A = this chain, B = another copy of it.
Amino acid sequence: MTATVRSEQGRSPYTGAALGEYATSTPWDVDVAVSAAAAAAARIAETCPSTVAGWLDTVADSLVANRNELARLADAETGLGMDRLTGEVGRAASQLRFYGAVAREGSYLGATVDTTPVMIGRVQRPVGPVAVFGASNFPFAFGVLGHDAGSAIAAGNPVVAKGHPAHPGLSRRLAEIAIAALAKAGAPAGTYGLVTGFEAGQQLVRHSGVKAVAFTGSERGGTALWRLANERPEVIPVYAEMGTVNAVIVTKGAAAARADAVAVGFVESFTLGMGQFCTKPGLLLVPAGSGLPAAVSETVAALPAGVLLTEAIAVGCETGIAQLLENGATVLARGAAADEGWACATTVLTASASALTKGSPLLAEVFGPVALVAEYADSAERDQVIAQLPGALAVGVHAADGEDVAALVATVAARVGRVVFNGWPTGVATTWAQQHGGPWPATTVPSATSVGAAALQRFLRPVAYQGLPDAALPAPLRQNNPWRIPRRLDGEIE
């Protein structure tokens, strides 16, 4: 029996035309990539975080040096536009530097030493090879060299990324850049690898050498990988960031004070990147009689047409709109649709707030430039809708100056990973305090984040060392603190 040769085909979202065709990984390729990663794991785990940070800096430098080529390659395959993509390369480079800085600082290791009643030292240890499934919608920031890869390496792990079929050429080029830069910086071979193709992705999650999985994408894709990992003899964690409907709540005060600004801000936010953001505000809850629905309609009507990332996303967008309509939503406004390529017109629908009950198809996320506006009669109805919302990454609250929003904030915070005040959920800064996650089904592990300093924690596992001689301890626990990291000694921060 000969193995089937499989391939994946790039396509232009602007025209649907075929771009490059690429062979995908064979089972042998996957095994080689994971074995190389496993071989590198122990060496990376004992490497000083400052050195690892230096590796990430070198990769970041290389991204910036190849910025224009990368943006062109990405634009051809994703249709996201040169401005956005050129900026995103810089952003991806900054993220890598940020995760390196978090590693250098050293708190992520959680090094803790107790001397009574026995000598115990506890430290976060790298888990080993991490499988990274990047997203289609941010080919740089959340792609094969995005947040997941950066934070996994910063935490001391090798990464085997699965290339995204929506940008096959770019995935391969990014991997080339990463591998060359890591080699130049002195990282062990196997610190980064790429596999491609659906079967290779499945094999990767099942592979006994893989110790954690990070995923950004659809609920269907994320939960499928989570189920696959749960069937392994050694179950491993799957950190899937899937996104759901992010709501924005407008109080009566905000609607009275600045309905037009809110309408414009909302349309700009939900159509950003043609609505292909996991933080897209998919639901605007407004007080009845505010005039906001009309203002939103006007803004949408004036928008230019755009294309979506893939044919499947364009089809899914139209199907999603049809399902909302079947379930009682009505069209408030539709924008222009592109003549060719993967098109879906920007669409705003409206539905009655009382129809937004738990599990209602009206609360299903439609990926693309689609949003729902619903009017609430009073704050009781508003809070009732909030209680029915699925777990989400973020929520927006728009209020008037001086309005008491403490109770409203506490209510919405129970449903999300991030509350944004007088702003929009799109736009996720990479900082120490960031939280990009949320209750199920927004993510599989609601206590985790895929952006920000805490992103490293997904790829670590604590080990306690009791009564060991100093020389046998991992560096962060040795008496002379060779990595110069913050520690806790007998309960006190040093």
Contact = CB atoms under 8 A, between A and B. Distances in A.
Interface of A: 42, 101, 105, 107, 110, 112-114, 116-118, 120-122, 125, 128, 230, 233-237, 359, 391, 404-406, 409-410, 413-414, 416-423, 429, 431-435, 437, 439-441, 444-447, 449, 452-454, 457, 460-469, 471-474, 486, 488, 490-491, 493
A68 to B, nearest CB: 25
A18 to B, nearest CB: 40
B418 A466 contact: yes
A264 to B, nearest CB: 18
Given A233-B359, A462-B447, A409 B468 contact: yes
Contacts of A128: 414
A404 to B, nearest CB: 8
A359 B232 CA distance: 13
A473 B406 CA distance: 7
B105 A491 contact: yes
B488 A493 contact: no
Given A118-B429, A418-B463, A421-B468, 7 more contacts: A107-B488, A236-B440, A237-B446, A404-B472, A405-B472, A419-B468, A447-B462
A464 B235 contact: no
Given A462-B449, A466-B421, A107 B493 contact: yes
A433 B233 contact: no
A237 B447 contact: yes
10 contacts: A112-B453, A117-B429, A121-B433, A122-B432, A233-B359, A237-B446, A418-B464, A421-B466, A423-B466, A447-B457
A94 to B, nearest CB: 11
B472 A433 contact: no
Given A105-B491, A452-B122, A435 B462 contact: yes
A305 to B, nearest CB: 31
B467 A413 contact: no
A419 B464 contact: yes
A303 to B, nearest CB: 26
A8 to B, nearest CB: 31
Contacts of A437: 462
Nearest to A454: B462
A86 to B, nearest CB: 19
B490 A486 contact: no
The 5 lowest CB-CB distance pairs between A and B, nearest first, are: A435-B464, A122-B433, A112-B433, A114-B431, A418-B464
A417 B452 contact: no
A440 B488 CA distance: 28
A465 B112 contact: no
Q: Work out how many copies of this chain go into the complex.
A: 2
B491 A432 contact: yes
Contacts of A414: 128
A417 B471 contact: no
A491 B466 CA distance: 31
B493 A432 contact: no
B493 A493 contact: yes
Contacts of A405: 468-469, 472
Given A122-B452, A420-B466, A421-B472, A432 B359 contact: no
Contacts of A441: 234-235
Nearest to A435: B464
Contacts of A464: 417-419, 433-435, 452
Nearest to A227: B230
Contacts of A488: 107, 432-433
Given A107-B493, A447-B461, A122 B435 contact: yes
A433 B466 CA distance: 10
Given A409-B468, A423-B466, A469-B405, A433 B125 contact: no
Contacts of A447: 237, 457, 460-462
A120 to B, nearest CB: 4
Most central of A237, A414, A447, A457 by chain B CB within 10 Å? A447
Contacts of A473: 409
Contacts of A410: 42, 474
Most central of A114, A421, A463 by chain B CB within 10 Å? A463
A440 B212 CA distance: 12
A493 B417 CA distance: 23
A463 B237 contact: no
Contact of A462 (B113, B359, B417, B444): B417
